[in-house]
Structure 1
Amino acid sequence: MTRPTFENELKEIHLDILKMGAMAEEAIDKAILALKTKDIELAQRIIDNDDKIDELTEEIEKKCAIVIATQQPLASDLRLIITAMRIATDIERIADHAEDISQITLKLAKEDYVKPLIDIPKMAEITRSMLKDALDSYVNSDIELAKSVVKRDDLVDTMYQNLIDELEQIMKENSAAVSQCIQFLLVIKYLERIADHSTNIAEWVVYKITGMHKHEWEGREKETK
């Protein structure tokens, strides 16, 4: 494989990652919209579309394997390939969680919600913005943007715990609401996992640029303070 061919293969993988990311962002937005509006048809479309993201993940993995097998990449090139494979896996899992939320919508669509869906969409918006910024940092090799995504994960963790406390209180006060609250607990757990995967993407971007894992670059930052 010649160098121009190698670079074209990397570019194709890069574009596939961006396509996957856009599909995952859309899946999150639509999953929360379907939950809020109890839109069964929209929820079902998200579930049906998940296979497309799974197929794209497999395609990226195959392309990366071919590039590694047909040419001995330099260390920096190998980091690009490893990063692409890891990011593809995280995006696939994000899309899976959007599907999980949509499955819950199908279960709850005929019920009156025990609480207005205000905080859950807020949490979803932060997680979606984390994914967007993580992907933007990948596109632009923006290390500072990637690190800002990592820092935002703590905010989502705080929102997650606050919502757990609120839902547990509702269950204590209203035993009839237990079943539905358990489903909402699953929703916020999926959102928390989406934030974690977005954080993973951002950490892989830093690795792509610097060759350092999180514990390494965080350790250096602490030493310079």
Structure 2
Amino acid sequence: MARVEFDQELERLETEIKIMASTVEAAIEKSINSLLKQDMDLAKDVIKGDDVIDKMCGDIEDLCMSILRRQAPLASDLREIVSCMYVIEELERIGDYAEGIAVLTIKIGVRPLPTDLVIIPKMSIKTIEILRMSTDTFLIKDPEEVNSKYKTIRKQDDVIDDLNTDVRGRLIELMKNKPHEIERATYLLWVAHNLERIADRGLNIAERSMQLVGN
């Protein structure tokens, strides 16, 4: 494989990762919307859509392996391809968390939600911001810019952790005051947990970006 063709394959790989990341972002948004609107059909769509994300992960992994088979890449190229495989695995796991939120939505059901969920929408917005920034950071080659974005992402992840702590405290208090809502409040705890884990996975991608540019 000529170098020009090899570079084109790498560009195609990056494009496929962008598409997968956008699909995962949409799954997170839909899963949270299904919860807030108590839209069971939308939740089911998210669950079905996880198969699409899984297929994307498999297809991109196949592309990575195909590139590796057809040319013995330079060390830097090998590092980039291996990093791409790492990133798509993280994105696939994030998709699983979005699916998990949709499953929890169905378990919570259509009765009025047991508490005001104002913090969970905030968490979801910031979580999606982290994922978007992390994916963008992974595709940047300038070490200084990567380092700057990484610091921003770390700060955002700390905010998510604080919000998760806040949600947990509120829901535990709710369970004390309304024992009959313990089951559904527990499901909401898991929703917040999934959002916190999505942010952590986004941070993992940013950390991989730092390694890739030598920071």
**Structure 2 partner of 1:192:** 196
Mapping for residues 53-72 of structure 1, pairs under 5 Å: 53-72=53-72
1:138-177 equivalent positions in 2, closer than 5 A: 138-141=138-141, 142-143=145-146, 144-177=148-181
Match of 2:21 in 1: 21
> 1:98-154: CA deviations, max 9, x gaps?
111011111223222111220111111111110111112223334021332123211
3-state SS of 1:85 partner: helix
| Structure 1 residue 3 corresponds to structure 2 residue 3 | yes
User: Following superposition of structure 1 onto structure 2, how do residues 60-139 of structure 1 map, counting pairs within 5 Å?
Assistant: 60-139=60-139
- Residue 40 of structure 2 is matched in structure 1 by 40
Identity value in percent: 34
Structure 2 distance, partners of 1:147, 1:71, is 35
Moved more, 63-72 or 42-51: 63-72
**Structure 1, unaligned stretches of length 5 or more?**
213-225
Structure 1 position 82, deviation (Å):
1.5
Q: Given residue 147 of structure 1, which amino acid in structure 2 is its aligned partner?
A: K
Give distance in 2, aligned partners of 1:75 and 1:158.
40
What secondary structure, in the 3-state scheme, does the structure 2 residue paired with 1:140 have? coil
Q: Extract structure 1 runs of 4+ deviating beyond 6 A.
A: none
**73-82 or 17-26: which moved more?**
73-82
Q: Say how many residue pairs are matched.
A: 211
Residue 26 of structure 2 aligns with an amino acid whose one-letter code is E
Task: Provide TM-score, normalisation by structure 1.
Answer: 0.90
Q: Could you tell me how far 1:68 is from its partner in structure 2? A: 1.9
RMSD value, Cα: 1.3
CA contact (8 A) 1:79 1:207 kept: no
Which one-letter code corresponds to 2:183 in the other structure? S
User: Aligned equivalents of 2:120 and 2:42: distance in 1?
Assistant: 18
In 2, Cα distance between equivalents of 1:64 and 1:147:
29
For 1:152 and 1:189, locate their aligned partners in 2 and report how far apart those are by CA, in whole Å: 16
TM-score by length of 2: 0.93
Letter in 2 for 1:30: K
